[in-house]
Chains A and B, each alone.
Chain A
Amino acid sequence: MTGRASYFSGEGITLRFGGVTALRDVAFSVSEGTVHAMIGPNGAGKTSLFNVITGLYAPDSGTVRFAGASLSGLPPHAVAQAGIVRTFQNLEIFTNMTVLENVLTGAHLSAKYGPFDFFLRTPRYFREERRLREEALAELSFVGLEGDASLPAAQLPFGSQRMLEIARALAAHPRLLLLDEPAAGLNIRETSALGELIRKIVARGVTVVMVEHDMALVMDISDRVTVLNYGEVLADGTPAEVQRNPAVVAAYLGEED
């Protein structure tokens, strides 16, 4: 409990797959209202960490705390209820739906009606569906997809699918948004638009944790950076500190040049 710094944190997180240790004694701490980047070479364990946080993987040990409560043992849907929503590195778009329906599905938790209302189509059902639709359309225009609402989601170009995943996650009203390589596969223009979008998301009061390989983007928008290497935390600090850290340069930044 160290004030602001304890908004979102992990401690002693270890995750093994048979012989492979994907995460070893990982700790991190994220302040409210910031952009926090998780970087590291391929296979460093970044996605595994997101999977542990969101309850998709059960760690062998360690705890994740969010807004004062432990997330240990919570199933994924309960983690979402607690206010943490994510996107996926390998897109997980609902390809059997339209773009708008994808975002409406993201609004699942904010839809305040039950079986009685939808089976019998009570006024509450219509009221809520109308509100969800307006919100979903607003999220689509927030990410720049307002013209594509009625398209089958599978027909969107790749870059737009990444934006759709963000809109879908935002529709869930997260307090903490986890983005797994949001710039992967985007061109330079799309990447700089993404940077702007992430700033706008933070301005809405959402804390963002982002796994990313695009160093220009990371250095540009992150408040803090955690570096993972072979499943362990190698360094942690501001972008400038991390860039200067010799261990990081040797393990990671160096190999990029």
Chain B
Amino acid sequence: MSSIRETSSAPGLALFAAAIVAAPFLLPDYYQSVLIVAGLFAILSMGLNLLMGYAGQISLGHAAFYGLSAYASGILTTTFHWPVPAGIAAGVVLSGVTAALIGIPTLKLKGHYLAMGTLGFGVIVYIVFNEAVALTAGPSGLTGIPRLSAFGKIFSTDREYYFVVWGTVFLLFVLARNLVRSRMGRALRAIHTSESAASVLGIDVARYKAFVFVLSAVYAGIAGALYAHFVTFISPGSFSFHASTQVVTMVVLGGMASLWGAVAGAVFLTVLPEWLRAIEDYDILVYGAILVLTMRFLPGGLAEGVERVLSALASIFRGKAKASGGEGKKP
């Protein structure tokens, strides 16, 4: 489990960077927009995994933070003509501040109550998106949102936007990994298993829970703003309970407490429906089934599955090396 986590991640990161750069040149153009969406979900699920997989706090309302930032940046750049980077910054700040206000009372709840609290929050925000017609244009959606432009450059092609999104994924991945491998990462995992044991060792449980809740909302906010300036049209449907469930499924399928898993789960569940157009109407059922099956048969998710395969391969190679008189495992 932790053997991989403790080894150096530099080769893994280099491989990840190489895959990000190579993918658009290897895949048909059509996949670029799919991968952009997958990247946005990867940001969402990395953030949710910090909260859920590491700290053990569930959120069933994460699409609200995604949507708040998308709408804030969309409205500020469209109605109020803010420059796009300023709109994105404001959107991310709004998601983070809302999480701080919501998190402090909500995180006192445990288990099912926390799930209900965050679900309720998500539903309320969804209703606001629909009803605050003057600002959000209601159910018919906000149109004419400008594409991302920064430093005098407009990122108008999918390929350019792909690199913006996956560059952000890479950066946020590294930051999350650095957090996980720090005293704060250990504190979050301690909170996951025993809040009382964590607290008597000097860990300020309430503060760390609030911090990771805000951080995961900031990740969602970054994804939301990038989404708005990619599709240029947003409507409440993208930020419903359904979207929250999707992200939870990505985290669980990918593997709780695995950042690689979060990215893999997001890519897999974004690309899969593209292959299975037929399931479109039943996708909530498919998500449910994936959730249940993963929890039942692969509780560590894709990350654990890959780890099992890798360690099986490693032991085969090690066996061969020994058989052929090669050196064994180094200390």
A-B pairs with beta carbons under 8 Å apart, 26 shown: A56-B199, A56-B200, A76-B199, A77-B200, A77-B203, A77-B205, A79-B200, A80-B199, A92-B197, A94-B190, A94-B193, A98-B2, A101-B2, A101-B189, A104-B183, A105-B186, A105-B198, A105-B201, A108-B201, A118-B179, A118-B182, A118-B183, A118-B184, A120-B178, A129-B182, A152-B1
A105: B residues at CB distance < 8 A: 186-187, 189-190, 198, 201, 203
B202: A residues at CB distance < 8 A: 77, 80-81, 85, 108-109, 172
Given contacts A81-B202, A92-B193, A93-B193, 5 further A-B contacts (CB under 8 A): A77-B201, A88-B196, A94-B189, A108-B183, A109-B202
Interface membership of chain B positions 42-64, coded 1 if the CB is closer than 8 angstroms to chain A and 0 otherwise: 00000000000000000000000
Query: In the bound complex, what is the Cα–Cα distance between A108 and B191 (angstroms)?
Result: 13
Q: Is A150 an interface residue (CB 8 A)?
A: yes
Q: Is B159 an interface residue (CB 8 A)?
A: no
B192, B193, B202, B205: residue with the most chain A Cβ atoms closer than 10 Å: B202
Q: Is A96 an interface residue (CB 8 A)?
A: yes
A235: B residues at CB distance < 8 A: none
The answer to whether A150 touches B201 (Cβ under 8 A) is no
The answer to whether A168 touches B199 (Cβ under 8 A) is no
A85: B residues at CB distance < 8 A: 200-202
Tally of chain A residues near chain B (CB < 8 A) = 41
B184, B201, B203, B205: residue with the most chain A Cβ atoms closer than 10 Å: B201
The answer to whether B184 touches A96 (Cβ under 8 A) is no
Query: In the bound complex, what is the Cα–Cα distance between A129 and B178 (angstroms)?
Result: 12
B8: A residues at CB distance < 8 A: none
Q: Is A44 an interface residue (CB 8 A)?
A: no
Query: In the bound complex, what is the Cα–Cα distance between A55 and B187 (angstroms)?
Result: 19
Interface membership of chain A positions 127-147, coded 1 if the CB is closer than 8 angstroms to chain B and 0 otherwise: 001001000000000000000
B201: A residues at CB distance < 8 A: 77, 80, 85, 105-106, 108-109, 168-169, 172
Query: In the bound complex, what is the Cα–Cα distance between A108 and B178 (angstroms)?
Result: 16
The answer to whether A108 touches B200 (Cβ under 8 A) is no
A→B interface (CB under 8 Å): 54-56, 75-77, 79-81, 85-86, 88, 92-98, 101, 104-109, 111, 113, 115, 118-121, 125, 129, 132, 150, 152, 168-169, 172
Looking at the assembled complex, report how far the CB atom of B11 sits from the nearest CB atom of chain A, in whole angstroms.
Answer: 17
The answer to whether B200 touches A152 (Cβ under 8 A) is no
Looking at the assembled complex, report how far the CB atom of A101 sits from the nearest CB atom of chain B, in whole angstroms.
Answer: 6
Query: In the bound complex, what is the Cα–Cα distance between A113 and B187 (angstroms)?
Result: 14
A108: B residues at CB distance < 8 A: 183, 186-187, 201-203
Q: Is B175 an interface residue (CB 8 A)?
A: yes
A101, A105, A125: residue with the most chain B Cβ atoms closer than 10 Å: A105
A93: B residues at CB distance < 8 A: 193, 197
B→A interface (CB under 8 Å): 1-3, 6, 175, 178-179, 181-184, 186-187, 189-190, 192-194, 196-205, 257
Looking at the assembled complex, report how far the CB atom of A241 sits from the nearest CB atom of chain B, in whole angstroms.
Answer: 32
Known A77-B203, A77-B204, A119-B178; judge A94-B197 contact (CB<8 A): yes
Looking at the assembled complex, report how far the CB atom of A170 sits from the nearest CB atom of chain B, in whole angstroms.
Answer: 11
Q: Residue of A at shortest CB range from B204?
A: A77
Query: In the bound complex, what is the Cα–Cα distance between A88 and B196 (angstroms)?
Result: 10
Q: Residue of A at shortest CB range from B205?
A: A77
B199: A residues at CB distance < 8 A: 55-56, 75-77, 80
Query: In the bound complex, what is the Cα–Cα distance between A95 and B1 (angstroms)?
Result: 12
The answer to whether A96 touches B200 (Cβ under 8 A) is no
The answer to whether B3 touches A119 (Cβ under 8 A) is no
Looking at the assembled complex, report how far the CB atom of A63 sits from the nearest CB atom of chain B, in whole angstroms.
Answer: 19
Q: Residue of A at shortest CB range from B180?
A: A118
Looking at the assembled complex, report how far the CB atom of A8 sits from the nearest CB atom of chain B, in whole angstroms.
Answer: 16
B181: A residues at CB distance < 8 A: 118
Looking at the assembled complex, report how far the CB atom of A125 sits from the nearest CB atom of chain B, in whole angstroms.
Answer: 7
A94: B residues at CB distance < 8 A: 189-190, 193-194, 197
B205: A residues at CB distance < 8 A: 77
10 smallest CB-CB distances across A and B, nearest first, come from: A118-B182, A80-B202, A92-B197, A76-B199, A109-B202, A111-B183, A92-B194, A105-B186, A77-B204, A94-B193
The answer to whether A97 touches B189 (Cβ under 8 A) is yes
B1, B183, B190, B203: residue with the most chain A Cβ atoms closer than 10 Å: B183
B184: A residues at CB distance < 8 A: 115, 118
Looking at the assembled complex, report how far the CB atom of A89 sits from the nearest CB atom of chain B, in whole angstroms.
Answer: 12
B189, B196, B197, B257: residue with the most chain A Cβ atoms closer than 10 Å: B197
A97: B residues at CB distance < 8 A: 2, 186, 189-190, 193
- Contact partner of B179 (CB less than 8 A), chosen from A106, A119, A169, is A119
Looking at the assembled complex, report how far the CB atom of B51 sits from the nearest CB atom of chain A, in whole angstroms.
Answer: 15
Query: In the bound complex, what is the Cα–Cα distance between A121 and B175 (angstroms)?
Result: 9
Q: Residue of A at shortest CB range from B197?
A: A92
Query: In the bound complex, what is the Cα–Cα distance between A168 and B205 (angstroms)?
Result: 18
A79: B residues at CB distance < 8 A: 200
Q: Residue of B at shortest CB range from A106?
A: B201
